[in-house]
Amino acid sequence: MINEQDLESATGTTITTVFTVKALDLAGNDCGHPILSFLDDARFIDEAAANPSLSVLLVSQELAAATGEAVGDQVSIIVVDDPRWHFYTLHNFLAERNPSETEPTVIAPDARVHPSAHVAPFGVRIGSGATIEANATVLASSRIGDGAVIRAGAVIGTSGFEHKRTSRGVLSVVHDGETRIGPRAEVGSLTVVGRGFQRRHTIVGADSRLDCNVMIAHGSQLGERVFVAAGAVLAGSTEIGDDVWIGPGATLIDRVTVGAGARVGIGSVVFRAVDAGMQVLGNPARATTR
């Protein structure tokens, strides 16, 4: 649980409002439990007011009156000079206390780890029969499934591109999730699989195949038997169903979904959801016949 003492310790700001929440999240995300969030843009006041999970809201002095009127007594309003900085500084404070990074790494006795590979000494699990090839890097909070293969030069569990402009300068946001490579999945040479972010793990499902030079950004979740060809980029929190094919050089924007059995053609740029079984091609990607 998170309370006002955590916020004080993280930011150095005196907090007189007493509260307890389960998590931090964006103001519009209804996650089913009490959250603390921030608001620094009037466009999102109505979205925040409609969120039953919102319990505590960090706001600027300029937005305090309008926000308080919109959310009513159900939400505690805390006025701070820079809500974005306070929110992500608190996030970093909590993320850096992640207990999984202090647990010694465990490598199955029959796993094959090349002498030139780097495996973090804490927070990694490598399963039975897994292979980690030359110059691969496996960072903390990574889980490599039984029989999985990490090809030469791949990087598993790196922090993603998440930086915030604040009144106090650029704030880089600590990643706090896991990176899970499923059983018998293969990650190609020089491919990067980002670490999970804001409690959403990055997942590459069982028997999936990632080609060389693929980018899987933080929080993306791939189902089973997903094939991703060379040069493809999956931005943060994409959701890919089972048995999907993603062609060479394709780009999928953050939070886009692709249904089971769909095909994304070479060089396509996917801005909108792709239904199960659909084939799309082009920029922007549009449905085509098989």
Encoded tokens for 115: 């002498």
Residues identified as active-site = 218
* Residue 163: Cβ-neighbour burial (10 angstroms; 0-12, 13-18, 19+): exposed
Largest CA distance in the chain: 62
pLDDT digits over 146-172, tens only? 999 999 999 999 998 999 999 999 999
Residue 13 has pLDDT above 80, yes or no: yes
Question: Considering the domain 2-95 in this protein, what is its CATH number?
Answer: 3.40.1390
pLDDT digits over 107-126, tens only? 999 999 999 999 999 999 99
**What's the CA gap between 187 and 232, in Å, rounded?**
13
Average of per-residue pLDDT across 136-154? 97
Residue 100 has pLDDT above 80, yes or no: no
The rounded mean pLDDT for the chain is 94
Cross-strand pairs, 104: 122
**What's the CA gap between 240 and 249, in Å, rounded?**
16
Average of per-residue pLDDT across 258-286? 96
**What's the CA gap between 98 and 101, in Å, rounded?**
6
pLDDT digits over 178-227, tens only? 999 999 999 999 999 999 987 789 999 999 999 999 999 999 999 999 99
Q: How far apart are the first and last CA of the chain?
A: 51
Residue 99 has pLDDT above 70, yes or no: no
The pLDDT-based confidence of 31 (bands split at 50, 70, 90) is: confident
Looking at CATH, the fold of the domain delimited by 101-288 is given as UDP N-Acetylglucosamine Acyltransferase; domain 1 (2.160.10)
Question: What are the boundaries of each domain within the chain?
Answer: 2-95, 101-288
